[in-house]
Structure 1
Amino acid sequence: MTTLERPTAGTAGGTAIDPILASVLQRRVDAIAKEMATMLMRSSRSPIFNEIGDLVTVLFDKHGRTLAQAEFAAIIAFGAQPPLEYIIDYFGDDIAEGDVILHNDVYTGGNQNADTGVYLPIFHEGELVGWAAAKGHMADIGGMTIGGYNPSATEIWQEALRIPPVKIMAGGVLRKDVWDFVGANIRIDFVMEDIKSMVGACTVGSRRLVELLGRYGRGTFDAHMDYILDSSEKQVRAEIGRWPDGVYHGESWMISDGLDPTRRYEVACDITVSGDEVTFDFSRTDDQAPGITNMPPASAMGAVRIAFLMLVAAGGINIPTNDGLFRPVHTVFRPGSLLNPHFPAATIFGNQMCDEVVDAIMSALADALPDRVTAGWNKFICTALNGTDPRTEQPFVTLTVFQRNGPGAMKGTDGWDALGFTGTAGQMRSPDPEMFELSSPHFLEYHEYLPDSAGAGQWRGGLGTRSAWRCYGDSEIGVTIGESVESEGGAPGAGLFGGGPSGMNRMTVEYPDGTTHEWGSKELVELPSGSVVRSVSGGGAGYGDPLLRPADLVADEVRNELLSAEQARIRYGVVVDAATRTLDAEATAQLRNTRKGGQ
């Protein structure tokens, strides 16, 4: 019973509540969501789905309240519910068993046009009882560039085919006209096969939920789900109630908007903790950008929820991820700002701005919740590559999310090495190197931890990585998706309470003619066959005074070649013999004593 309140008998809607059954049902709906995700990943064609897991599957009740989700990509997971609210209002009573609805439009609740969702209403004994949803990053969904990422885009129509709620199946029958219309606007055939896999995953979720209702009864199930949602709300309210009341301020910066690499945009957050509720107000955030670096409010809300869950989890509390968890959490995104742009602004980069949102929240609460916040993360960077595969003469799209950056440390814990993007909360996978090479025309030369990349501290940041791959696609184009690029003057993540800053990112293209190019954070470049891309993804920032880190831990990292003897001395005041990699305890004590002023 670790995920619910202490068991107490009671009633909900006139139905007696069995806390043990509630726990069983909560775990059962979680298992259904996970089964849906497994089915989707194993039946889909795109490596973005079956290798990376850039997707989510969710079960909702009939009102659109989240019951459970399998959040491989958390920023998408929390972006799945706002479209359903719109869908329910849009169709009203015009929903029937066998309907399947497709949606991606960021101006009707979507988080990113590439993140397309399938929504299936679930019926039991003729009544609507819930919804199953599958949502993921499509390899292509139309627009001016295959894959959707183009830094020169200035309006939504250039990025993707906008899909407001539309039925691709009605009463169990495929709407061939609608299906063919969507397919005609997509360059890669297997995307339509992936949509079929999403429909299949939702069908599995529907069957499993109907089986559950058949076993326990509709009234019992609904009453116990209400109990579970209320229990989650009570737990999170009790957790917020332990936070000190006050108003806290934090900021982060985005460098480059894709059109102008010198532009700086502030993401500013004012957090009000009052009793058992918390409000995240981003009204001071800068106005929207002219290009792709705008974040739809559904994506911004998802980023807030990711940061909030980090803070809650740091308290050692395990609460089911459902609608009740976020009832005490409120968000404000000013219309016309970077986090709530006016139509028809371009928004494809929006999900990646999760880094700035999380950074602003953590910096705001550093003094109020020093035991829960993380030091600054190195902001994520990867590339979207597309072109024609000469082996098949077919178009390809791939994401190089094996470029893994380091998260910040927190009190008592080093940052997780090479965790990656805040928006996926460490759950989205790196593609298998062999599958990367088989599914796209590339050869991965190396991918490894980056020594000396972790920000120093009593608890150090997570290590970053370095990677290199050779391109041999025809007409290949690459687009960087990220932040903190050294050549643009990007800002490192800040260390906390004496900890060192995060590392920086660097991307270099080596062309076949011997010339090189420093690749910016949001830049489209041509990659002639034979080009080599070399990537450095920095580590996270440290927490606490580095001189307090145990010397034997520092020496162990020197022995494991994660830290050089030189940097051990400079950053930590630890003396390790470079040849034998053994700790010199006496020299270390003397050096640290000197650094501390002889105290």
Structure 2
Amino acid sequence: MATTAQHVDPILASVLQRRVDAIAKEMATMLMRSSRSPIFNEIGDLVTVLFDAKGRALAQAEFAAIIAFGAQPPLEYIIDYFGDDIADGDVILHNDVFTGGNQNADTGIYLPIFHDGELVAWAAAKGHMADIGGMTLGGYNPQAREIWQEALRITPVKVYSGGTLRKDVWDLVGANIRIDFVMQDIQSMVGACTIGKRRLLQVLNRYGLGAFRAHMDYVLDGSEQQVRAEVAKWPDGVYHGESWMVSDGVDPGARYRIACEVRIEGDEITFDFSATDDQSPGIANMPPASAKGAVRIVFLMLIAAGGVVIPTNQGLFAPLSTVFREGSLLNPRFPAATIFGNQMCDEVLEAIMNALADALPDRVTAGWNQFICTSLNGVDPRTDDPFVTLTVFQRSGPGAMRGTDGWDAFGFTGTAGQMRSPDPEMFELTSPHFLEYHEYLSDSAGAGQWRGGIGTRSAWRCYGRDEIGVTIGDDVISEGAEAAKGLFGGLDAGRNDIRIERPDGTTHVWGSKELVPLPQGAVVRARSGGGAGYGNPHLRPVDLVLREVRDGLVSPERARADYGVAVVTGPDGAVRVDQETTSVLRNVNGATNR
């Protein structure tokens, strides 16, 4: 039944909200199932979004949240750039970080949706391309000093005009990309947006444009009201926090401060990073679209910690403002290199959580282990074709929060836990590597009444020809990085360590932003630390500590030293708690034995 634009039915509004959400998810499913790159179809390093005609987000499927929350700035630029020069059948390609992009490798397709000749919405798909030009296959190279060395810079350009492929533009882009299937992945993105267009037009034809707009305005307003009500509960004030990035890809010993001032005034909140250090000379800079996306991820965590479920749309971020000083790490001046920027989501999160720890102790988390993985590229000797792969199965742990342990092997903060690890067999089939092991890393999490998430240990053997690897991270023991910090008596987390065992018997300790050759037969061994703990470890239930010792997550030595739980093995081989010793250990530290 059609509804007039003047009348809003709350039930229909809920139906339409879930419908656009389902469309965004269908777009993502279509993209993953039709794409060629394992970065898309295995890892899910992508997003799909529906916007209204003004560029307001209606719904999104954020497999990689840092991209999803950074998808809007390019559209704002595109709308302003083309003005009225937008027609039905146009398809716009974009990746440029100096015109709204979050990372050059994260390339986007933006497709306008017309209804009865009127622009009514946009469908968008963004994903991490296996290659997008630049000096290095795959894009990651710490030796880059400017954007042109990192990627083909794609400012908004129509690859389809009025439904017709612009072959000259298409061939120009393809001529700058080393891997053929990247262009096929772009076609998959166009297909995903086309699905979004078809599905949305079905909704408009059924309910009418006026009714759709009225009800989506109602949904966005409802989200805004919900989130403002949550922020209004938070104590007004000005709060400060900081985090540190170690190494900039030029100087392994360099340290950069990411500083955040959080201002809460009624139902408004501002995240001001003006005091953050100046931009680095290398790749370790974060474009403002990426920084804004990182802030939104953390803000969403704080909101969700209150148990409130709010649709992920434009209204969710209405009370939020961000400030990034030009020339700083989070808003570098042109033509800075920025390929590492998305990874700095870790520091943004840590700075905000540190700032709000005392003000919002029930919502913040203890320190997260800063994520590190590798980008591997070379020639696959089985096919003589170039390959690029990301080892995102290297999973670190998030920090605990009051009432909840950190999730085990969660991974990168910028993906909000939704980007997947590749299937081990697919990793071996699509790149010349053999995965020796991938498992939880015992004693990697910081102890606490609620412990941090467990990290992982991984190893793989390299068989690529002319293979090089680049570490993507900023927290390794060898560079003096500090462990993620526990909160309110919780203990610090474990740290990352990654090493290359070469066929000649030598070992190389791999830095956090370092490009190295990987000879055939080399083995990479990676240890990813867990998250930090929250609260006094001696208040953790004894039976839970015993269970984790039995499961191999905590060693008997750490159970005794960190949790005050004496675990012994009897003559029959059974593992049990020595209650008398445990009582003494816990009472000495002023905690009840429970």
Tell me the TM-score normalised to structure 2 length: 0.98
The one of 578, 583, 587 aligned to 1:589? 583
Tell me the distance in 1 between the aligned counterparts of 2:23 and 2:523: 43
Residue deviations 1:333-375 (CA, integer Å, cap 9, x gap): 0000000000000000000000000000000000000000000
Tell me the distance in 2 between the aligned counterparts of 1:249 and 1:88: 36
2:298 corresponding residue in structure 1: 307
Residue deviations 1:191-212 (CA, integer Å, cap 9, x gap): 0000000000000000000000
2:39 corresponding residue in structure 1: 48
The one of 411, 421, 429 aligned to 1:430? 421
Amino acid corresponding to residue 546 of structure 2 in structure 1: A
1:87 corresponding residue in structure 2: 78
Q: Map residues 554-569 of structure 1 onto 2, 5 A cutoff.
A: 554-569=545-560
Question: Where does the alignment leave 5 or more consecutive residues of structure 1 unmatched?
Answer: 1-11
Q: Map residues 96-495 of structure 1 onto 2, 5 A cutoff.
A: 96-495=87-486
Residue deviations 1:68-103 (CA, integer Å, cap 9, x gap): 000000000011100000000000000000000000
Tell me the distance in 1 between the aligned counterparts of 2:67 and 2:121: 20
Q: In the TM superposition, what is the alpha-carbon distance from 1:329 to its structure 2 partner?
A: 0.1
Q: In the TM superposition, what is the alpha-carbon distance from 1:14 to its structure 2 partner?
A: 5.7
Tell me the distance in 1 between the aligned counterparts of 2:457 and 2:68: 29
Q: Does residue 21 of the first structure (1) align with residue 12 of the second (2)?
A: yes
Question: Where does the alignment leave 5 or more consecutive residues of structure 2 unmatched?
Answer: none
The one of 525, 529, 535 aligned to 2:520? 529
Look up the SS of the partner of 1:56 in the other structure.
strand
Amino acid corresponding to residue 226 of structure 1 in structure 2: D
Tell me the distance in 2 between the aligned counterparts of 1:13 and 1:336: 50
Tell me the distance in 2 between the aligned counterparts of 1:16 and 1:462: 48
Look up the SS of the partner of 1:539 in the other structure.
coil
The one of 69, 72, 84 aligned to 1:78? 69
Residue deviations 1:136-163 (CA, integer Å, cap 9, x gap): 0000000000000000101000000000
Asked whether the 8 Å contact 2:539–2:592 carries over to 1, the reply is no
1:3 corresponding residue in structure 2: none
Q: In the TM superposition, what is the alpha-carbon distance from 1:597 to its structure 2 partner?
A: 9.1
Q: In the TM superposition, what is the alpha-carbon distance from 1:13 to its structure 2 partner?
A: 9.7
**Paired-residue identity, %:** 77
Look up the SS of the partner of 2:577 in the other structure.
coil
Q: In the TM superposition, what is the alpha-carbon distance from 1:595 to its structure 2 partner?
A: 2.7
Tell me the distance in 1 between the aligned counterparts of 2:592 and 2:354: 32
Amino acid corresponding to residue 541 of structure 1 in structure 2: A
Asked whether the 8 Å contact 2:77–2:100 carries over to 1, the reply is yes
Aligned residues: 588
Residue deviations 1:554-581 (CA, integer Å, cap 9, x gap): 0010111111111100000001114532
Tell me the distance in 1 between the aligned counterparts of 2:86 and 2:296: 30
Q: In the TM superposition, what is the alpha-carbon distance from 1:502 to its structure 2 partner?
A: 1.2
Tell me the distance in 1 between the aligned counterparts of 2:485 and 2:559: 20
1:580 corresponding residue in structure 2: 574
Amino acid corresponding to residue 219 of structure 1 in structure 2: G
Amino acid corresponding to residue 582 of structure 1 in structure 2: R
Amino acid corresponding to residue 584 of structure 1 in structure 2: D
- After superposing the two structures, state which structure 1 stretch, 559-568 or 35-44, moved more: 559-568
Tell me the distance in 1 between the aligned counterparts of 2:483 and 2:128: 28
Tell me the distance in 1 between the aligned counterparts of 2:591 and 2:486: 22
Asked whether the 8 Å contact 2:141–2:150 carries over to 1, the reply is yes
Tell me the distance in 1 between the aligned counterparts of 2:11 and 2:585: 58
Residue deviations 1:460-490 (CA, integer Å, cap 9, x gap): 0000000000000000000000021000000
1:33 corresponding residue in structure 2: 24
Look up the SS of the partner of 2:576 in the other structure.
coil
Query: What RMSD, in angstroms, separates the aligned Cα atoms of the two structures?
Result: 1.1
Tell me the distance in 2 between the aligned counterparts of 1:494 and 1:226: 42
Q: In the TM superposition, what is the alpha-carbon distance from 1:51 to its structure 2 partner?
A: 0.0
Tell me the distance in 2 between the aligned counterparts of 1:519 and 1:399: 16
Look up the SS of the partner of 1:207 in the other structure.
helix
- After superposing the two structures, state which structure 1 stretch, 570-579 or 457-466, moved more: 570-579
Residue deviations 1:437-465 (CA, integer Å, cap 9, x gap): 00000000000000011100000000000
Q: In the TM superposition, what is the alpha-carbon distance from 1:591 to its structure 2 partner?
A: 1.4
The one of 492, 496, 506 aligned to 1:501? 492
Residue deviations 1:110-150 (CA, integer Å, cap 9, x gap): 00000000000001111111000000000000000000000
Tell me the distance in 2 between the aligned counterparts of 1:580 and 1:253: 45
Q: In the TM superposition, what is the alpha-carbon distance from 1:586 to its structure 2 partner?
A: 2.0
Tell me the distance in 2 between the aligned counterparts of 1:304 and 1:49: 24
Structure 1 residues 221 and 569: alpha-carbon distance in aligned structure 2, compared to 1, 3 A threshold: same
Tell me the TM-score normalised to structure 1 length: 0.97
- After superposing the two structures, state which structure 1 stretch, 286-295 or 579-588, moved more: 579-588
Amino acid corresponding to residue 360 of structure 1 in structure 2: A
Amino acid corresponding to residue 400 of structure 2 in structure 1: A
